[in-house]
Structure 1
Amino acid sequence: MNIFIKWLILAALIIAAIACYSYGSTTGLFIFIIAGFVFEMAFWFKMFPIKKKSSL
């Protein structure tokens, strides 16, 4: 994957998470807080992917 596209996806995920957290806290809709959490977790799992152990 191109490094530029990776960083673009990461930026979009964190912006979406912040937007959902912000909207959820002002309107009191808990579903947006959960959506923000999902976007944030996607950001962190994309930033630090889980490495599989190689079997020798």
Structure 2
Amino acid sequence: MKTVFRIVLGFVLLAAALAAYSYGHTTGTFLFIVAGFALEASFWFNLFPVRRKAPR
């Protein structure tokens, strides 16, 4: 994956997570809090991808 695409995708995921947290907090809807958590988790997994070693 290209570096610029990963950076842009990370910022989009983080902005979406913050928006979901904010909307869930103001309306009191727990579903948006869960959606914000899922978006934030995908941000962190995108930021630090798991690298697998090649078999010997």
* Large movers: runs of 4+ above 6 Å: none
Whole-angstrom CA distance in 2 between matches of 1:46 and 1:10: 7
* Identity within the alignment, %: 45
State the match for 1:15 in structure 2: 15
Q: Name structure 2 gaps, 5 residues minimum.
A: none
- 1:1-48 per-residue CA deviation (whole Å, 9 max, x = no partner) reads 222211110000000000000100110000000000000000000000
- Pairs within 5 Å for 1:25-44: 25-44=25-44
Q: TM-score, normalised by structure 2?
A: 0.91
Give unmatched runs, 5+ long, in structure 1.
none
Aligned partner of 1:52 in structure 2 is: 52
Return the alpha-carbon distance in structure 2 between the equivalents of residues 13 and 25 of structure 1: 18
CA RMSD of aligned residues (A): 0.9
Count of residues paired in the alignment: 56
TM-score (ref. length: structure 1): 0.91
